[in-house]
Chain A
Amino acid sequence: MTGVLGGLLDALPLSYADAVVVVGTAVVGFVAGLLGPLAVLRQRSMFGDAMSHGTLAGVAVAFLVTGAKVPELLLLGAAVSAAVAAFAMLALERTGRLRSDAAIGVVLSVSLTLGIVLLTGISGSGNASQAGLDEYLLGQTAGMVERDIVVALALASVAVVAVGLGFRLLRSATFDPGFTAVAGVRTWVVDAASTGLLALAVVLGVRTVGAILMVALLVAPVVAARQVTSTLAVLMPLSGLVGAASGAVGGLVAGRAELPAGPVIVLLATGLAVLSVVFAPRRGVVAKLARGRARVSR
Chain B
Amino acid sequence: MSPDDVMIVVIAGLLSTSCAVLGGFLVLRGQALLPDAVSHAVLPGIVLIFLLTGERATLWTVVGATAFGVLCVLGSDWLRRTGVVESDAALALVFPALFSLGILGISRFASGAHIDLDSAIYGDLTFAPLRTVSLFGADVPQSLVVTGLATVAVVALVVVLWRPLQAAAFDPAFAELAGLRGRLIGQVLLVAVAGLAVVAFDSVGAILVITFFVVPASTARLLTARLGTMLVVAALCGWVASIAGHTVAVSADTSIPGTIGLASGALFVLALLFAPRRGLLTRRRATP
A interface residues (Cβ-Cβ under 8 A, vs B): 40, 43-46, 48-49, 92, 95, 97-99, 101-102, 104-106, 108-110, 112-114, 116-117, 120-121, 124, 134, 137-138, 212-213, 215-216, 218-220, 222-223, 226-227, 259-260, 262-264, 266-267, 270, 273-274, 277, 280, 283-285
Size category of the binding interface on chain B: 35 or more
In whole angstroms, how far apart are the Cα atoms of A262 and B214 in the complex? 27
The 3 closest A-B pairs by CB, nearest first: A113-B261, A263-B100, A216-B96
> Counting chain B CB atoms within 10 Å of each CB, which of A44, A95, A109, A266 scores highest?
A109
Chain A residues whose CB sits within 8 angstroms of the CB of B79 once the complex forms: 277
Are A109 and B221 in touch, CB under 8 angstroms? no
Are A213 and B31 in touch, CB under 8 angstroms? no
The smallest C-beta distance from B142 to any residue of chain A, in angstroms, reads: 24
Are B99 and A212 in touch, CB under 8 angstroms? yes
Q: Which of A40, A99, A260, A280 contacts B107 (CB 8 A)?
A: A260
Q: Which of B35, B84, B92, B211 contacts A227 (CB 8 A)?
A: B84
Contact with A along B254-272 (1 / 0, CB 8 A): 1101111110110010001
In whole angstroms, how far apart are the Cα atoms of A273 and B100 in the complex? 15
Are B96 and A116 in touch, CB under 8 angstroms? no
- B82 interface residue (CB < 8 Å to A): yes
In whole angstroms, how far apart are the Cα atoms of A285 and B253 in the complex? 54
Q: A98-B218, A105-B33, A114-B262 are in contact. Are A259 and B104 (CB under 8 A)?
A: yes
List 27 interface pairs A-B (beta carbons < 8 Å), by A numbering: A40-B86, A43-B89, A45-B86, A46-B36, A46-B91, A97-B222, A97-B278, A98-B221, A101-B32, A102-B32, A102-B218, A105-B213, A105-B215, A108-B214, A109-B215, A116-B255, A117-B255, A117-B262, A137-B121, A138-B117, A213-B96, A216-B93, A223-B93, A226-B84, A259-B107, A260-B103, A264-B104
In whole angstroms, how far apart are the Cα atoms of A285 and B215 in the complex? 37
Are B33 and A104 in touch, CB under 8 angstroms? yes
In whole angstroms, how far apart are the Cα atoms of A221 and B115 in the complex? 31
Are B107 and A105 in touch, CB under 8 angstroms? no
In whole angstroms, how far apart are the Cα atoms of A46 and B94 in the complex? 12
Are A212 and B92 in touch, CB under 8 angstroms? no
Are B91 and A45 in touch, CB under 8 angstroms? yes
- B280 interface residue (CB < 8 Å to A): yes
Contact with A along B109-151 (1 / 0, CB 8 A): 0000000011001100000000000000000000000000000
Q: Which residue of B lies closest to A123 (CB)?
A: B255
Contact with A along B197-209 (1 / 0, CB 8 A): 0000000000110
Q: Which residue of B lies closest to A254 (CB)?
A: B104
Are B88 and A45 in touch, CB under 8 angstroms? yes
Q: Which of A44, A114, A277 contacts B85 (CB 8 A)?
A: A277
Are B92 and A219 in touch, CB under 8 angstroms? yes
Q: Which residue of B lies closest to A115 (CB)?
A: B258
Q: Which of B84, B85, B210, B280 contacts A109 (CB 8 A)?
A: B210
